[in-house]
Structure 1
Amino acid sequence: MADGEDDYMSDAFLNQLPDVRPGVPMVKSAKEAMKREILQKEKNIKNRQKSYKEQEQESRDAALQNSISTHNKGFALLQKMGYKAGQGLGKKGAGRVEPVPMNIKTDRGGIGMEELKKRKAEEELQNYRKKVQMKQQGEKKSLEDFRVRKRTEREERQTLTDLNKSQRACEQLDTQKGVTVPRDSWYWPEVLKDEEAELEEEDASDSSEDEDELTPSDKLQFLTSYLRGVHSYCIWCGTAYNDEDDLKSNCPGDTAADHDD
């Protein structure tokens, strides 16, 4: 009887032990446990590396992704007043549907600092645009001034060239008609220094004042009019016409611009 009881107790004890099978299943279970341990360690290291702000941001984002639970006291009060999930606020349901967005302040600046920074940035941008605009206008004005100056210089050189050409033509045509003294000293390229010129020295002071007041453009206008009226000659055509009628009929005009075409 004693031996039978001992065998029964032995069998009961063995039945309580877990069924641990040797071999491959045991090795696989150990590997999975080691893998989970390694992953947990990596996760702990990664969490420790995150800053407090990052952890706070992750927690906040996770909370905002979830809707308010029906167990929330505020939500429960709204339901008692007839509110349903997804419905707009207000008696007719025409109010706000989404919650008021949060503006999280993460820096240590005072209230209104962000608005001040924004206004300052806009002012700096406007000032920069004004500087760029003024610079562009200045460059444009400088370029226009340069073009005007070059055009004026070119016109002045052309006027002097036409004046010199008119003086030589006047001297030649006057000489062909027996004229030995020019109508005025500047009608010819050079003033004759002879006895007749010496006789005119008495009037030199009066004529020099009038001559100084004349610009090359004025002299050219007087001289070309003289050549056309007295000699029927046009310096831009380079032709001595038969008479005044022939000049008017065949000459384009009495200015250089009339002869551009």
Structure 2
Amino acid sequence: MADEEEDDYLAMSFDTAGSKQGKETSIQRTARLKKEAAERGRVPSKRELADQAKAAREAALATQLDASNKGAKMMAKMGFKGGALGKSEDARTQPIEVMLKEDRGGIGMDSEKKRKIREAAAEVEDQHKRRKVDEVEYRERTRNEREEWRAEGQMWSAMRTLEGFETGGVATGAEADDVRGHAGDASKLTETEHKPLRSINVLWRPLVKQRLEKERDRRMRYDLDQSLSRKGDYEDPDADQDDKLALGAEVEELDEEDPELEELEALSFAERLEKIIKELREEYYYCFWCKYRYPDEAMEDCPGVTEDEHG
């Protein structure tokens, strides 16, 4: 027996051409035997065992119900002859599939995870949509604010022009007014501002009201700074007697309600500007955009009423 297992060196052949169809050499045979022995003696790893068990389980679960199945034989003994597993027409023809749970989570954990994933995805999508909406709203809001700010400056300029026409002052309207100071020295009240506030055209009445408020604030600050509010004999050296009397009556009038002015100030700057421009055109044939007073109401060379029409 030992002689048969010994290598026969005389029977060895060498494939000089490198062909795989040649006879197995003794060295190749020895290597093959060692490899087969190692495979037979090797213990599979846990991963390999788990893969083998999973493959066997999937193959068993995929087996259809037939006459050779053990479950089918048991059902046949109880009178089952095949067909649907119920009385209704759409009854199942195969048993309910077994869903094997491989993780350690509780029952319903998978559906809860899926729900959270769906909610997270929906939230990301909502945030993306809100971000787009916020960007559009921000651009729109910025554009509207810029247009309102521009319309406000134009409104005060047109108001100043209208005041100049009605008071006989300079009415070019070319110079821009200070929107917050609204031009002019408020320390001296003009003759027009000595009139009752409600008798002034409401379209430029805010100019007079703001000058009166500025004058009132100036006097109050001066009294406070000089600590003269307690003295009954205090007199402003810069104000003459007519100004004192007029200021006293008009300052009291500032606190009274003015529904006509409130209605005007409820409008947007663009709407107020439109009203003033219309008044200038109808009463004085003056185009605020052309900065020119036409000789008659036809205003033939004027391109139009709006700023866009003036190019």
Q: Which TM-score applies when normalising by structure 1?
A: 0.55
CA contact (8 A) 1:237 1:251 kept: yes
CA contact (8 A) 1:166 1:235 kept: no
Cα distance in 2, alignment partners of residues 184 and 35 from structure 1: 121
Number of aligned residues: 222
Cα distance in 2, alignment partners of residues 183 and 228 from structure 1: 26
For 1:78-157, what aligned pairs fall within 5 Å after superposition?
Answer: 81-83=80-82, 89=85, 95-157=91-153
CA contact (8 A) 1:162 1:220 kept: no
- Higher relative CO (Cα under 8 Å, sequence separation at least 6) belongs to 2
Other-structure match for 2:169: 171
Q: Could you tell me which of 52, 55, 68 is aligned with 2:52?
A: 55
CA contact (8 A) 2:12 2:25 kept: yes
CA root-mean-square deviation? 5.2
CA contact (8 A) 1:224 1:235 kept: no
Q: 1:104 Cα deviation (Å)? A: 0.9
Q: Counterpart amino acid of 2:290?
A: C
For 1:2-13, what aligned pairs fall within 5 Å after superposition?
Answer: none
Q: 1:68 Cα deviation (Å)? A: 6.2
Mark the CA change 1:237 to 1:147 in structure 2 (over 3 Å): closer, same or farther.
Answer: closer
Other-structure match for 1:233: 286
Q: Percent identity?
A: 22
More helix per residue: 1 or 2? 1
Mark the CA change 1:63 to 1:40 in structure 2 (over 3 Å): closer, same or farther.
Answer: farther
Q: Could you tell me which of 70, 73, 78 is aligned with 2:70?
A: 73
Q: Point out the structure with max Rg over C-alpha.
A: 1
Cα distance in 1, alignment partners of residues 58 and 192 from structure 2: 99
What per-residue deviation string (whole Å, max 9, x for no partner) do you get for residues 8-27 of structure 1?
A: xxxxxxxxx9xx98613896
Counterpart secondary structure, 1:50: helix
Cα distance in 2, alignment partners of residues 122 and 222 from structure 1: 58
Counterpart secondary structure, 1:117: helix
Q: Counterpart amino acid of 1:38?
A: K
Q: Counterpart amino acid of 2:51?
A: E
Q: 1:152 Cα deviation (Å)? A: 1.1
Cα distance in 1, alignment partners of residues 95 and 154 from structure 2: 81
Structure 1 gaps of 5+ residues are: 1-16, 175-181, 192-197
